[in-house]
């Protein structure tokens, strides 16, 4: 147990704050890059703006709370029910919104890479704004359950936690699993579909709709770069998204078992580790974009050189 405590201490006092700083810096630079005039004309960039804004809020609420609670034993949400429910509510909203915006971006890439001109015309800014606003309102309303049933529970002697219990733990566990599975399958299908469309375009020349008169090759290159960035974000999300959901399944199965103090501490460590891991995709999107996209690298160079 001493080894676990040391690992947890280093993880949440050093690694986790470093991840938070990396995530904040990356999200801000992503927002600046995708908000530039030449980028935000593309509907996919609008989805990326929404995606990175959701990431920024999530890591500043969920990850910061994890650092304070686990790393420094400062836990306002474990002593104040209002703060507890607000923290869970906000974390739940943006944990849902981030993959939702990724899914919208994936669908947009299917539209823009289609051989059908009418389908390509659906990749437009008006539809992007409508989908983002309506989807955000849906998740804000749907997540209200966290404001009602999240609670402060005692998990050990003088040890309290803002968490779920009873029927709500069952509901949240089922919801998390369904969300992760449907999101993963949907993103995978959309990604494969878009890649197949690109390969089809290489075989058959398609006259695209170019409302601003830009060069076809240049526009197609930018769209392909956005697809590459999207695919990397999807892969990163898929790699880490099931960790907390899997832990919730275990919690649901064993919630009525009599557990020793040692077992409770191990479970607490696994819970915290899974919460840390699901925050990773929210923090590294910018750096993945730098690796896979030369267009994005050029935009960042312009930003840093103040062009």
pLDDT value at 214 more than 70? no
In the chain, % helix, strand, coil (3-state, to 5) comes to 80, 5, 15
The CATH class of the 2-304 domain is mainly alpha
- Domain locations along the chain: 2-304
Check residue 1 and give its pLDDT. Answer: 66
Tell me which DSSP letter residue 78 carries.
G
Q: Which pLDDT tens digit goes with each residue over 152-183? A: 988 777 778 898 888 898 898 889 889 988 99
Residues whose CB falls within 8 Å of the CB of residue 58, separated by 6 or more in sequence, listed in order = 91, 94, 95, 98, 279, 282
Least confident of 106-120, 198-212, 264-278: 198-212
* 3-state secondary structure (DSSP) of residue 237: helix
Check residue 206 and give its pLDDT. Answer: 47
Check residue 201 and give its pLDDT. Answer: 67
Residue 210 vs residue 12, higher pLDDT? 12
pLDDT band at 305 (very low <50, low <70, confident <90, very high): confident
Least confident of 1-10, 70-79, 128-137: 1-10
Note whether 133 and 75 are within 8 A (CB).
no
pLDDT value at 207 more than 60? no
Q: Which pLDDT tens digit goes with each residue over 57-106? A: 999 999 999 999 888 988 888 889 999 999 999 999 999 999 999 999 99
Q: At what angle do helices 166-203 and 81-112 cross, to 10 degrees?
A: 20
Average pLDDT value for residue range 277-287: 92
Q: Across-strand partners of 153?
A: 161
Check residue 64 and give its pLDDT. Answer: 93
Check residue 217 and give its pLDDT. Answer: 40
Distance CA 106, CA 48 (A): 11
pLDDT band at 22 (very low <50, low <70, confident <90, very high): very high
Distance CA 185, CA 179 (A): 10
Computed over every residue of the chain, the mean pLDDT equals 87
pLDDT value at 223 more than 80? no
Name the residue among 159, 10, 154 with its Cα closest to residue 72.
10
Distance CA 274, CA 213 (A): 48
pLDDT band at 307 (very low <50, low <70, confident <90, very high): low
Check residue 55 and give its pLDDT. Answer: 95
Query: The whole model's pTM is what?
Result: 0.87
pLDDT value at 16 more than 90? yes
Pairing of strands 159-163, 151-156: antiparallel
pLDDT value at 209 more than 60? no
pLDDT value at 46 more than 60? yes
Residue 41 vs residue 212, higher pLDDT? 41
């Amino acid at each position: 147990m001493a080894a676990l405590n040391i690992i947890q201490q280093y993880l949440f006092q050093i690694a986790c704050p470093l991840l938070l700083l990396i995530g904040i810096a990356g999200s801000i630079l992503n927002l600046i890059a995708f908000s530039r005039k030449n980028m935000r004309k593309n509907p996919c960039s609008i989805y990326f703006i929404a995606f990175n804004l959701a990431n920024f809020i999530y890591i500043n609420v969920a990850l910061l709370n994890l650092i304070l609670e686990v790393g420094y034993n400062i836990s306002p949400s474990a002593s104040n029910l209002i703060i507890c429910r607000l923290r869970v509510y906000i974390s739940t909203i943006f944990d849902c919104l981030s993959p939702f915006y990724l899914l919208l971006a994936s669908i947009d890439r299917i539209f823009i890479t289609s051989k059908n001109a009418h389908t390509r015309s659906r990749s437009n800014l008006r539809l992007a704004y409508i989908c983002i606003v309506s989807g955000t309102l849906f998740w804000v309303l749907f997540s209200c359950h966290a404001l009602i049933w999240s609670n402060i529970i005692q998990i050990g002697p003088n040890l309290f936690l803002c968490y779920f219990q009873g029927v709500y733990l069952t509901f949240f566990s089922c919801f998390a699993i369904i969300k992760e599975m449907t999101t993963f399958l949907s993103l995978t299908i959309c990604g494969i579909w878009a890649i197949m469309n690109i390969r089809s375009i290489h075989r058959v020349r398609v006259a695209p709709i170019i409302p601003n008169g830009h060069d076809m090759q240049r526009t197609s290159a930018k769209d392909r770069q956005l697809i590459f960035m999207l695919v990397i974000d999807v892969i990163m999300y898929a790699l880490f998204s099931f960790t907390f959901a899997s832990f919730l399944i275990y919690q649901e199965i064993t919630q009525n078992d009599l557990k020793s103090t040692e077992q409770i501490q191990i479970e607490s460590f696994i819970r915290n580790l899974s919460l840390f891991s699901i925050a990773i995709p929210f923090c590294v999107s910018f750096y993945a974009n730098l690796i896979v996209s030369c267009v994005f690298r050029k935009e960042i160079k312009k930003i840093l050189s103040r062009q």
